[in-house]
Amino acid sequence: MSFPATFEIRPVQPADRHAVRRVDDTAFGGERVPDLVDALVAAGDVVASLVAEVAGEVVGHVQLSRCWVDARERLVEVVSLSPLATEPAHQRLGIGSALVAAAVETARELGEPAVFLEGDPAFYGSRGFLPAEPLGFGRPSQRIPEPAFQVALLDEGLPRGRFVYCQTFWTQDCVGLRDPRLARVEEALAAVSSASG
């Protein structure tokens, strides 16, 4: 899949492992996200993984992993978009947006009914994601601020229920936020809510 001449998006290859770790590490500033990615790969939870290249160098990464919706009638397979990473020097060039679009298109091609994520609604909201709770999907943890829990619904007939991460997200402690960051985000949301109300 090609985009404007400045970068190209393609599936991850085994030789990309170290480059993907570097991108995830520089984008998120720590080992937690690269370790999550490695653990998801090792557990067989990855549905699709894509990289963005500039002049042959990997500068961005996005991954889709197997998760579920725990609906009343059955457990339904869906995917989670996590992580989305672009090296800081290559941010604000449209690479992240292109990776999101490519991930959603890949999910659609694979017949996935929905793509869930935790993220900034200002960024993902303009890229096809909607707040998930008003659509009938429950958060897997109260540590995920409600506005951050979003979905790109690819099949309107998807049964509603609670979104469930695969075990790897839990064992790597990569669901939601923890204090003190969680408290700061909740305070900011409360301030916005009181200012608009």
Instruction: Quickly state the pLDDT bin for 195 (edges 50, 70, 90).
Output: confident
Instruction: Quickly state the pLDDT bin for 2 (edges 50, 70, 90).
Output: very low
Instruction: Quickly state the pLDDT bin for 196 (edges 50, 70, 90).
Output: confident
The rounded mean pLDDT for the chain is 94
Alpha-carbon distances of 43 from 40, 66, 94, 96, rounded to whole Å: 5, 11, 31, 26
More confident residue, 193 or 89: 89
Q: Please spell the DSSP secondary structure of 132-169, one letter per residue.
A: SGGGTEE-S-TTS-GGGEEEEES-TTPPPEEEE--HHH
Q: What is the count of structural domains for the chain?
A: 1
Alpha-carbon distances of 197 from 120, 140, 186, rounded to whole Å: 21, 28, 16
pLDDT for the residue numbered 192? 86
Q: Supply the CATH number for residue 29's domain.
A: 3.40.630.30
> 197 pLDDT exceeds 80?
no
Least Cα distance to 69 among 159, 9, 154 occurs for 159
Give the domain extent around 111: 8-196
Give pLDDT tens digits for 43-96. Answer: 999 999 999 999 999 999 999 999 999 999 999 999 999 999 999 999 999 999
On whether residue 1 sits in a domain, the answer given is no
Give pLDDT tens digits for 124-169. Answer: 999 999 999 999 999 999 999 999 999 999 999 999 999 999 999 9
On whether residue 2 sits in a domain, the answer given is no
On whether residue 190 sits in a domain, the answer given is yes
